[in-house]
Structure 1
């Protein structure tokens, strides 16, 4: 099974407007339409994509959660959104109402830092029940880039050991040295997306990161429409890892975390160092 844990899409009529205000400096590999995403996943050989909802403001939380939940199906797993400007119980009630068991945190677009006490209140409330995938690293201006640093992720991991946490972009988009220093060996899943393509990273460096962190703690994500899932799958396979490690990264590790397949190693939320490349 291949699972892409990092997909963005919007209603067809809103996709162009939604994308236009995001990261105009990044090239696109798709139009961001929900109808297109289904075709892209099928063409790329992806069995399941994790659809990530992001509410830029508190007033949009429930509408975003309603949309992503409505897309739940054979090829899509909905991850919803929360916002610290919304009362804690209102955030949790929205997730419960729409049957959502995972959320995306995106400091660049949502305007909060990961060391905000209100964010920590949310993470404490999630416990091991709500999985989290979080943008980490650069992508905006200098101020917004400091809202989600590898050091903040390490602090979260150590404070909330039961949290099922995925750190995007190997734990630090364009801050890879910091991620290597702060996160390798920590109990967090690292995700592989690096728009416009992971192939821009030196393969020997990627292999070293996976070797030090543990292949069973790395999961595949494309960041569509900012990257092409098929090309990213090829880049992972081109690393020359063992068949077991490659299969784990492309889907087995995420399946275990999300409860989509039989256990293979550590139980959800805890990650040992088995499955080395």
Structure 2
């Protein structure tokens, strides 16, 4: 089964065609059988206002956006919903169905309050649940998060570091060598994917499309065009994601994914 480890899906923000139906049509053409879904950024905070101040309306918007992903229970795909966390650090909203955390901002956008005690408490809860964190942050914040805050937490750097300071900056910092630091291939160049595998192996690398900004079919063909060893390709296209998710701790027998833990996919009944 091909698993897309990086896709955005929502219904509040209409700036892109990014509903689940939009994704499912593209996934079917690409032979993708499962997907990790994140809320779109505009459903979480106002990325265009550096002085963004949270409000009850935004907190409700975030709750509704994260809940939408939990509601998805399609017949054609296995859905692994990730919880998009913001500065209210509302980990009390985490359910057994959540399979990971999305932690995201770009330069010039509102910043995460890393010194807020609630941030440390949220990370403790994430660590206890063994939830992986997809971290898309500026380079200095990426270094601090991994070196100082995320001890015992698996951190996935998306796009092979393209928006976290760059692939080579992450190499120079020695982050790719750390056992708890993983990567996804979304929008990364074929050359960077080849170099990552040559230098660091394929065991912590996962296929991702970055839908709607990336096309799932094209992104999948990018990986297949590399002509990797079949076993390595199978791991990158799904096996590594499954291995990572098996470590997620939940309070329900069915594990994370699809409709309150009742996953129909490869983690069902584990």
Question: TM-score, length-normalised on structure 2?
Answer: 0.74
* RMSD of aligned residue pairs (Cα, Å): 2.7
> Unpaired segments of 5 or more residues in structure 2?
46-57, 247-264
Matches within 5 A, 1:250-261: 250-259=237-246, 261=266
Q: Which has the higher contact order (CA 8 A, sep 6+)?
A: 2
Residue aligning to 1:77: 80
Aligned-pair CA distance for 1:130: 4.8
Structure 1: distance between partners of 2:213 and 2:127? 31
Question: TM-score, length-normalised on structure 1?
Answer: 0.72
Counterpart contact for 1:170–1:192, Cα < 8 Å: yes
Residue aligning to 2:93: 94
Counterpart contact for 1:220–1:249, Cα < 8 Å: yes
Matches within 5 A, 1:1-277: 1-11=1-11, 14-17=12-15, 19=16, 31-53=17-39, 54=41, 55-56=44-45, 57-74=58-75, 75=77, 76-86=79-89, 91-96=90-95, 99-108=97-106, 111-113=110-112, 115-117=114-116, 118-136=118-136, 145=138, 148-149=141-142, 151-155=143-147, 159-161=150-152, 163-173=153-163, 175-182=166-173, 183-187=175-179, 188-194=181-187, 198=188, 201=189, 203=191, 205-259=192-246, 261=266
Q: Deviations over 1:153-187 (max 9, x none)?
A: 43157x422x2332111134261211112212112
Structure 2: distance between partners of 1:43 and 1:114? 41
Aligned in 2, Cα 1:69/1:247: closer, same or farther, shift over 3 Å?
same
Q: Deviations over 1:66-90 (max 9, x none)?
A: 111011445122112222225xxxx
Counterpart contact for 1:114–1:147, Cα < 8 Å: no
